[in-house]
C-alpha cells in the first residue's frame, strides 16, 4: 500500500512538472503549448544588411561580423536602428536579449512606423518591452495605430513566461491584409483582425522597422513612478537573427496589395499575403488563448475607466 501511495505521489509530481516550467515572484509560469515555428520559414539576414543607424551611433556595437548588435542606453544617450527599406506587409522578426538588473523606466521597442513620411496620419505596430522596478522582470506591451489614430491607444500588456534577460527570445510581427499577429517565440500573444470595425484605423501604408532603447521615465514604469536609475547603467540589449521579408516600397506613395504583387516598383516577395498566413491555425489559436488567459493583465478593450465608449472593434469581438 505504501509503495502504491509513493508511486502515485511520484506520478503526481511528474504531471505537475510537465505543466509548470518554473516559478517566479508572480507565481506559476506555465509551459507554452507547441505551435508552428513560423520563424523557421524565413531566412536570417545580417543586421548590417537590413538595418542602419537611427540615433546614438556611439552606443551601437556590432558583433559576430554584423549578425548581432548591442544597443545601449546610458547617461549620454539611448540608441536605435532603422531598416534600410520600407515595407508594405511582411514578416519582421528579431531575437532579443534584454538588459539585466534594475531597469525601471527603460524601454526596448521593436516596432514599425511611417511617422517620418506621414506625420499627420501615420501607422504604427509596436512591441514595447518595459523595464521593471524588480530585477529580471519586464512587461511586454503591444500597440497599434492606423491613419494617425494616436489619441486612441490600443495597448495590451502581458507578463512574459520566461526571464528575457538570460537568453535570446524571438519577437515577431506578421502584418498582411488579413490580420496583424504579434508572436513571442512563435506563440501568438495578440491578433488584430482586419474587419469592418477596425478598417479605418488598420495600418495601410508602407512602414520602416525600428529597434530602439531609450529613457521613458515619464511613463514606462507605473506611469513614471519609477524613473531610470543610471547607477545601474549601461543598459545593454542585444539583437540578432533578423528576419525581414515583405513588399518593399521604393517611393513615398501608398501601394496596394495588388501593386505589391504586380507593380515593378515593388519587390515580388509577398508570400505573407497567401492563404498560409491569412488566419491562425488550430495550434496557433491554442497558443493565443493560452497566452491571453494566463499572461495578459491589461487590454484597452476592458478599460472602461479610460474609455466611456469602447472602440468599435472591442464590441465586434
**pLDDT tens digits for 99-138?**
998 899 999 999 999 999 999 999 999 999 999 877 657 9
Q: For residues 151 and 21, what is the distance between their CA atoms, to the nearest angstrom? A: 39
Please tell me the pTM assigned to this model.
Answer: 0.88
Catalytic residue among 124, 245, 273, 313: 124
Q: Are residues 16 and 130 in the same domain?
A: no
CATH (domain of 61) = 2.60.120.200
Cα angle value 266/192/201 (rounded, 5°): 70
Q: Are residues 67 and 181 in the same domain?
A: yes
pLDDT for 218 equals 86
The verdict on residue 267 lying in a domain is yes
The verdict on residue 258 lying in a domain is yes
The verdict on residue 236 lying in a domain is yes
Are 113 and 210 a contacting pair, CB within 8 Å?
Answer: yes
The range of the structural domain enclosing residue 125 comes to: 33-307
Q: Are residues 8 and 104 in the same domain?
A: no
- Whether residue 313 lies in the annotated active site: no
Q: Are residues 123 and 110 in the same domain?
A: yes
Q: For residues 229 and 104, what is the distance between their CA atoms, to the nearest angstrom? A: 7
Secondary structure class of 34 (helix, strand, coil): coil
The verdict on residue 315 lying in a domain is no
Cα angle value 303/220/27 (rounded, 5°): 70
Q: What is the percentage of the chain residues whose pLDDT exceeds 70?
A: 83
pLDDT for 253 equals 55
Judged against a pLDDT cut of 90, whether residue 263 lies above it is answered with: no
**Who wins on pLDDT, 28 or 296?**
296
The verdict on residue 71 lying in a domain is yes
Q: For residues 257 and 96, what is the distance between their CA atoms, to the nearest angstrom? A: 30
Whether residue 316 is preceded by a cis peptide bond, meaning omega within 30 degrees of 0, is no
Q: Are residues 61 and 137 in the same domain?
A: yes
Mean pLDDT of the chain: 86
**CA quadruple 77, 168, 140, 52: dihedral positive or negative?**
positive
Q: Are residues 44 and 187 in the same domain?
A: yes
Cα angle value 113/119/121 (rounded, 5°): 80
Q: Are residues 186 and 234 in the same domain?
A: yes
In the chain, the number of structural domains is: 2
Q: Are residues 11 and 142 in the same domain?
A: no
The verdict on residue 312 lying in a domain is no
User: Mean of the pLDDT values across residues 210-214?
Assistant: 97
Catalytic residue among 6, 128, 245, 259: 128
**CA quadruple 190, 193, 197, 199: dihedral positive or negative?**
positive
The verdict on residue 313 lying in a domain is no
Q: Are residues 83 and 113 in the same domain?
A: yes
Q: Are residues 41 and 15 in the same domain?
A: no
Q: Are residues 10 and 99 in the same domain?
A: no
Query: With b meaning 16 or more CB within 10 Å and e meaning fewer, what string describes 85-98?
Result: bbbbbbbbbbbbbb
Are 170 and 185 a contacting pair, CB within 8 Å?
Answer: yes
In tens, the pLDDT along 12-54 reads: 444 444 444 444 434 455 689 999 999 999 999 999 999 999 9
- Whether residue 273 lies in the annotated active site: no
Q: Are residues 170 and 264 in the same domain?
A: yes
Beta strands in 114-196 (DSSP E): 124-130, 139-145, 156-159, 169-175, 179-184, 187-193
Q: Kindly indicate the confidence band of residue 255, based on its pLDDT and cuts at 50, 70 and 90.
A: low
The verdict on residue 316 lying in a domain is no
Amino acid at each position: 500500500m505504501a509503495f502504491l501511495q509513493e508511486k502515485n505521489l511520484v506520478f503526481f509530481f511528474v504531471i505537475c512538472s510537465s505543466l509548470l516550467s518554473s516559478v517566479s515572484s508572480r507565481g506559476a509560469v506555465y509551459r507554452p503549448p507547441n505551435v508552428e515555428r513560423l520563424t523557421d520559414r524565413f531566412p536570417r539576414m545580417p543586421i548590417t544588411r537590413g538595418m542602419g543607424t537611427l540615433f546614438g551611433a556611439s552606443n551601437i556595437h556590432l558583433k559576430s561580423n554584423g549578425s548581432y548588435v548591442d544597443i545601449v542606453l546610458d547617461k549620454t544617450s539611448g540608441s536605435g536602428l532603422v531598416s534600410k527599406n520600407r515595407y508594405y506587409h511582411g514578416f519582421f522578426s528579431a531575437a532579443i536579449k534584454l538588459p539585466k538588473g534594475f531597469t525601471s523606466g527603460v524601454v526596448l521597442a521593436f516596432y514599425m512606423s511611417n511617422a517620418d513620411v506621414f506625420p499627420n496620419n501615420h501607422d504604427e505596430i509596436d512591441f514595447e518591452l518595459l523595464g521593471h522596478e524588480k530585477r529580471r522582470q519586464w512587461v511586454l506591451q503591444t500597440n497599434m495605430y492606423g491613419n494617425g489614430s494616436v489619441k486612441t491607444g490600443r495597448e495590451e500588456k502581458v507578463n512574459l513566461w520566461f526571464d528575457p534577460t538570460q537568453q535570446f527570445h524571438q519577437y515577431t510581427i506578421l502584418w498582411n491584409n488579413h490580420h496583424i499577429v504579434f508572436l513571442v517565440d512563435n506563440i501568438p500573444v495578440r491578433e488584430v483582425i482586419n474587419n469592418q470595425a477596425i478598417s479605418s484605423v488598420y495600418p495601410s501604408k508602407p512602414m520602416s522597422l525600428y529597434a530602439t532603447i531609450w529613457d521613458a521615465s515619464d511613463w514606462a514604469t507605473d506611469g513614471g513612478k519609477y524613473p531610470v536609475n543610471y547607477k545601474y547603467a549601461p543598459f545593454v540589449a542585444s539583437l540578432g537573427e533578423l528576419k525581414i521579408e515583405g513588399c518593399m516600397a521604393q517611393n513615398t506613395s501608398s501601394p496596394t496589395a495588388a501593386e505589391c504583387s504586380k507593380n515593378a516598383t515593388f519587390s515580388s516577395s509577398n508570400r505573407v499575403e497567401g492563404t498560409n498566413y491569412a488566419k491562425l491555425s488550430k495550434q496557433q489559436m491554442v497558443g493565443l488563448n493560452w497566452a491571453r488567459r494566463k499572461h495578459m493583465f491589461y487590454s484597452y478593450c476592458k478599460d472602461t475607466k479610460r474609455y466611456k465608449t469602447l472602440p468599435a472593434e472591442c464590441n465586434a469581438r
